[in-house]
Amino acid sequence: MFAFLNEVSVQFVTGVIASIFLLPLIRVFSWLTRRRWRSHLRDFFGINGESRGAVQIKVSCIPVIPRGTVAVTDHTAGFNGNAITEPEYQAALVLTQAIQAKPLASFLRAFAEHLGGESIDPPEMCQISLSPPRPAGHPRLPDFPKSYVGEHPTDVYEKPVREQIEKVLGRGGTTVLIGSNVYNLLTDFALRILTERDNANHVVFYRSQVADSWERGVVIRTQDANASARRVFERLPLAVETPDSGAYTGETVHTEYFVIQRLSVKRRQWPGARAGTVFVCAGNSSDTSALAVETLAQTWKSLHKEYGDADFTKVFKVKLVKRGDEPADVLPNYPRMQWASSRLSRSGRAERGNDSFK
């Protein structure tokens, strides 16, 4: 009996000592090590005020029609439904790791809660899900030509579809859109509507048929709506790389571009809309869209240093080597930034029309 009471007393005293001394030390250490990093992270991604909450990462939604797949076994029905691409999902996981709390901070938070203290501050969380698909029966949205210079057509969504999109992007908080408007309906809305209402740079992923082939690329119409304010970044045809390409000498490569764009959703921009932030990470293929997300995850600190909480548009050039169904290889020294423009932020750290070309 005495031994039991002694053990209980020791555990009680240990718990009291831990609560008095360890818990404050853990809180102070966590505050010192995470305060600056988290402040910059929240500032850049817009995770502040009414925009707090999980970062929503929306990957492209690819509807597969009946009998649109080939099974391993003798299965005649085939899969149909919504699918995603592996490169986009893997990139979404990379971004999640960059945003969410690091292991040490998670351990300290869990240990502090175990000691009976309150959470050391709500952690940043990410949720990965599909963009809403274009409903069956909804008219296909118009492609943009390479010669695009005018305004985005904005009256292309049927009322239920538009309301669904506005509910997702107008919830407040931060949303990251992966993939171009070919398979991501939210990206289409962001590029048509948010840029139109906010006078930001218009990004167009164009597709134009020439003879038996298609031209693809990116057109940027800057804030001055005239032809001289256009930038065209064309997805070049396949070509054999030159001998100065190291290990890729003699490989067939193609040149592509991707875009990272930060856009703001204004409070009451449409009925019920709350203030929020939208990031568009998109290219002309799933590989380049994935590269856009990975670049955002790897460079957000330098982007924050450059732009603060300002909206911006960046275009990157990349050279890829594609071998069958394997993920594309990126040639050394790529991606390379090709063009950038930013708008005035609340803090005034970026000037409107700060247009650069490299």
Domain end residue (candidates: 68, 90, 119): 119
Q: Give CA–CA dist 144/153, Å, rounded.
A: 10
| 14 and 93 belong to one structural domain | no
The pLDDT of residue 45 is 92
The tokens of 96 are what?
């999640």
| 112 and 196 belong to one structural domain | no
| 26 and 71 belong to one structural domain | no
| Tens of pLDDT, residues 252-271 | 788 899 999 999 888 878 88
Q: Is residue 207 part of a domain?
A: yes
Q: Give CA–CA dist 311/190, Å, rounded.
A: 13
CA distances from 322 to 251, 253, 333, 338 (A): 9, 7, 17, 22
Count the neighbouring beta carbons within 10 Å of the beta carbon of residue 150: 10
| 23 and 136 belong to one structural domain | no
Percent of the chain with pLDDT over 70: 68
Q: Give CA–CA dist 140/157, Å, rounded.
A: 9
The tokens of 169 are what?
């992007």
The tokens of 344 are what?
């005035």
Q: Is residue 327 part of a domain?
A: yes
Q: Is residue 347 part of a domain?
A: yes
Residue with tokens 């305060």, as numbered in its chain: 35
Q: Residues, the chain, total?
A: 358
| 193 and 236 belong to one structural domain | yes
Q: Is residue 124 part of a domain?
A: no
| Tens of pLDDT, residues 267-282 | 878 888 888 999 999 9
The answer on pLDDT for 346 being more than 50 is no
Q: Give CA–CA dist 201/136, Å, rounded.
A: 31
Q: Is residue 218 part of a domain?
A: yes
Q: Is residue 8 part of a domain?
A: yes
Q: Is residue 125 part of a domain?
A: no
| Tens of pLDDT, residues 172-226 | 889 999 999 889 999 999 988 887 655 567 888 888 777 777 788 898 877 654 4
| 138 and 39 belong to one structural domain | no
Domain end residue (candidates: 70, 87, 119): 119
The answer on pLDDT for 292 being more than 50 is yes
| 70 and 20 belong to one structural domain | no
pTM over 0.85: no
Residue with tokens 């304010």, as numbered in its chain: 229
Domain end residue (candidates: 59, 87, 119): 119
Domain that holds residue 18: 1-45+107-119
The answer on pLDDT for 339 being more than 70 is yes
| 72 and 112 belong to one structural domain | no
* Weakest mean pLDDT among 54-63, 95-104, 224-233: 224-233
Q: Is residue 126 part of a domain?
A: no
* Weakest mean pLDDT among 47-61, 145-159, 288-302: 145-159
Contact between residue 157 and residue 259 where contact means Cβ atoms under 8 Å apart: no
| 148 and 11 belong to one structural domain | no
Q: Give CA–CA dist 156/130, Å, rounded.
A: 21
Taking the alpha carbons at both ends of the chain, their separation in whole angstroms is 79
| 9 and 154 belong to one structural domain | no
| 31 and 55 belong to one structural domain | no
Share the mean pLDDT of the chain. Answer: 76
| 55 and 38 belong to one structural domain | no
User: Could you give the number of structural domains in the chain?
Assistant: 2
